[in-house]
């Protein structure tokens, strides 16, 4: 089944399907948005218990619902200065060391940091990485795992394969083939990457700062000088995908109780400075 699903991804009109979904997701037609929101909330058993909104009727579009803000204090940020926190709600897909510029995608599959991040991936060999998958039911805003200064972004156009266990195991170099936004920060421990990876049905990758609009037509490198604290919101996905964080050699140790499949919540510690 997994091989069949992975092969199907190669022939589907990925961008066409995603753009159709995008049009529906941003529609303010109350019948369209209301139906879309209610059916999605039912299918994924989504509760507004932690959300600022108290009713599904408060959302004018599906995008507003999907990127819903949480109540103050719903995701406390670990205050310890040495803590590295999860950038999102989700599940750990992989985590470990960047060996010879290679990151683990799934058992038997590795891909290069250079193919994922281009020139912004320099300086992370033998460092650490963590890949977090956001399911459709998760909170879909992305936050900074450690305080830093945004210096560069690289918007890279690409495919829109869906991201799940089947495609991770069946499509080599999945994350380096999909559309993505590479964000490089300078921190007290050295450089840090936060990579937002698009996927099938993901209508857009949005950021806190001005930049190219997703879907990306061409590769675009931009420079910035913007400071963010640990836990600050930096972007959001319109439908689920993946965040990959990279840290320099010898500077981060992941918590030993975390492994592939572990559930994480934005703001909780996933590692600490070495």
Beta-ladder partners of 150:
185, 226
CA–CA distance, 190 with 225 (Å, rounded to integer) = 16
Beta-ladder partners of 194:
183, 245
Backbone angles phi, psi at 128, to 5 degrees: -125, 150
Report the helix count and the strand count for the chain, using DSSP H and E: 7, 16
Active site residue 208: no
**Active-site residue (options: 143, 162, 204, 214):** 143
Active site residue 143: yes
CA–CA distance, 103 with 85 (Å, rounded to integer) = 20
Active site residue 89: yes
Residue 248 tokens read as 């320099």
**Active-site residue (options: 18, 86, 89, 138):** 89
The set of residues, in sequence order, having a beta carbon less than 8 Å from that of 81 and lying 6+ positions away, is: none
Identify the sign of the CA torsion 140, 163, 179, 12. negative
First to last CA, the chain: 42
Residue 231 tokens read as 């836990």
Q: So which residues are the catalytic ones? A: 89, 143, 241
């Amino acid at each position: 089944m997994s091989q069949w699903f992975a092969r199907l991804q190669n022939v589907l009109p990925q961008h066409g399907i995603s753009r159709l979904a995008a049009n529906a997701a941003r529609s303010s037609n109350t019948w369209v948005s209301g139906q879309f929101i209610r059916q999605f909330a039912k299918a994924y058993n989504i509760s507004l218990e932690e959300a600022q909104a108290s009713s599904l009727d408060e959302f004018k579009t599906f995008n507003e619902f999907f990127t819903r803000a949480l109540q103050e204090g719903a995701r406390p940020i670990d205050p310890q200065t040495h803590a590295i926190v999860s950038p999102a709600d989700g599940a750990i897909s992989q985590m470990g060391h960047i060996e010879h510029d290679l990151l683990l995608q799934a058992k038997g599959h590795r891909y290069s940091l250079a193919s994922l991040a281009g020139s912004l991936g320099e300086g992370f060999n033998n460092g650490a990485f963590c890949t977090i998958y956001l399911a459709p039911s998760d909170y879909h805003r992305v936050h900074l795992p450690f305080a830093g200064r945004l210096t560069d972004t690289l918007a890279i156009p690409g495919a829109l394969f869906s991201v799940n266990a089947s495609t991770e195991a069946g499509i080599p170099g999945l994350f380096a083939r999909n559309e993505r936004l590479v964000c490089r920060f300078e921190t007290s421990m050295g450089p840090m990457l936060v990579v937002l990876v698009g996927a099938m049905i993901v209508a857009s990758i949005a950021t806190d700062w001005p930049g190219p609009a997703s879907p990306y037509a061409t590769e675009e490198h931009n420079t910035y000088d913007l400071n963010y604290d640990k836990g600050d919101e930096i972007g959001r996905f319109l439908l689920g995908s993946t965040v990959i964080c990279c840290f320099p050699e010898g500077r981060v140790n992941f918590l030993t109780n975390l492994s592939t499949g572990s559930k994480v919540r934005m703001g909780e510690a996933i590692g600490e400075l070495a």
